[in-house]
Amino acid sequence: MINPIGSAELKPLFVYDSEEHDHLTHEAESLPSIIISSGAAGNAVMMGAGYFTPLTGFMSLADGISCAETMQMTSGQFFPVPVLNLVQDVSAIKDAKRIALRDPNVEGHPVIAIQEVESIEEVSDEEMQLMTDKVYRTQDPEHPGVAAFNAQGRFAISGPIKVMNFSYFQTDFPDTFRTAVEIRNEIKEHGWKKIVAFQTRNPMHLAHEELCHMAMDRLGCDGLVIHMLLGKLKPGDIPAPVRDAAIRKMVELYFPPNSAMVTGYGFDMLYAGPREAVLHAYFRQNMGATHFIIGRDHAGVGDYYGAFDAQTIFDDEVPAGAMDIEIFKADHTAWSKKLNKVVMMREAPDHQKDDFVLLSGTKVREMLGNGEAPPKEFSRPEVAKILIDYYQAQ
């Protein structure tokens, strides 16, 4: 199986030993504590689950800036985005050597991790702007990722962490949330050797389904991991439970047995386009995938990124040898009226726009809200029914 990045084995930061877990739980009661941001909680979950191997905790400011500028920490270790614990007020933890990090997304703010404090550094406006610009390629406060990143605070708390739980992801999505450790184990149980991963934050329409089939066929893969984001999205995006139900129905009906896994991970969407595409590839290698599908405007929002910037970054900016996972570069897929099947649009050069079945997201939402299923060339009827039920209940 493909090795994790920078390590011969996964390094999950979750405390699996029950005795140590109990000890830390009791210790946390007496430690200074702080409620962290939703983004930092998501990073803790990803580190706990092994997805961010070989990170041992939250980065220092120098490492965060270095990752933003070069996709490498000051040690030379590859990581595509800063992983910072940014907070607004550190008065409650001043001079503390160990602190309890509290979850902002769970009622009662339980301790999600314990952190050893190596440093508390104030981040200047110039440093925030630099990281924002490098990661998001914009400083527009209307960009949802930029807004979330800059709302976290200006104090960076660095140091290793031990993760106590997986926030709400394990309890709210018990059938879907999986750690990188669990996915690797399931891949072994399936006996898969070549595995392609598909990222989604939306329900999968027919074009997405066919793109997965195309990738599996062309790459000779024996397994597909549909890996959906379960964390916070932007307003208007379909909630994770609805997506989950729709995707599971699609896999049940339209994929052969033992060929596809439906899983999810706990993380807030960055909408960082090219940089987020690299991050997505990074943790897909850590979970055991050998290939990763990246299509048009992967992880983008609005018009901030070029249609294929998330593909070209792997050729132009990712340090050589940083990752072993291979990228399956896809174009937009759609139903061809001429060929009566889903095709990649670049592979149909004789087609005009009207030769494809293309519907805007706004039009699809309008149809679903009116109880009307999109055409069968766009969406499976069984999937459309789940989405119609959701929109009509709003």
Asked if 140 and 100 count as a contact pair (C-beta separation under 8 A), the reply is: no
Asked if 161 and 49 count as a contact pair (C-beta separation under 8 A), the reply is: no
Q: Strands, DSSP E only, in the chain?
A: 33-35, 57-58, 86-87, 98-102, 111-116, 119-122, 155-163, 195-200, 223-229, 260-265, 291-294, 326-329, 333-336, 341-344, 356-357
Question: Which pLDDT score, from 0 to 100, does residue 94 have?
Answer: 87
Residue 111 bridge partners (DSSP):
102
Q: Which two tokens stand for residue 181?
A: 């450790």
Q: Which has the closest alpha carbon to 71: 147, 159, 135?
A: 135
* 380 is known as an active-site residue: no
Residue tagged active-site, from 3, 98, 154, 201: 201
* 85 is known as an active-site residue: no
Cβ partners under 8 Å of residue 303, min gap 6: none
Provide the whole-model pTM.
0.94
Asked if 295 and 211 count as a contact pair (C-beta separation under 8 A), the reply is: yes
Question: Which pLDDT score, from 0 to 100, does residue 184 have?
Answer: 98
Domain ranges in the chain are: 18-170, 175-392
Question: Which pLDDT score, from 0 to 100, does residue 234 have?
Answer: 67
Question: Which pLDDT score, from 0 to 100, does residue 212 have?
Answer: 97
Cβ partners under 8 Å of residue 182, min gap 6: none
**What pLDDT tens digit does each residue of the chain (394 aa) get?**
999 999 999 999 999 999 999 999 999 999 999 999 999 999 999 999 999 999 999 999 999 999 999 999 999 999 999 999 999 999 999 899 999 999 999 999 999 999 999 999 999 999 999 999 999 999 999 999 999 999 999 999 999 999 999 999 999 899 899 999 999 999 999 999 999 999 998 889 999 999 999 999 999 999 999 999 988 766 777 888 888 999 999 999 999 999 999 999 999 989 999 999 999 999 999 999 999 999 999 999 999 999 999 999 999 999 999 999 999 999 999 999 999 999 999 999 999 999 999 988 788 888 988 999 999 999 999 999 999 999 888 7
Q: Which residue has the tokens 């969407």?
A: 269
Domain 18-170 has CATH 3.40.640.10: no
Superfamily of domain 175-392: HUPs (3.40.50.620)
Helices 61-70 + 125-136 axis angle, to 10: 40
Question: Which pLDDT score, from 0 to 100, does residue 228 have?
Answer: 93
Residue tagged active-site, from 3, 98, 154, 202: 202
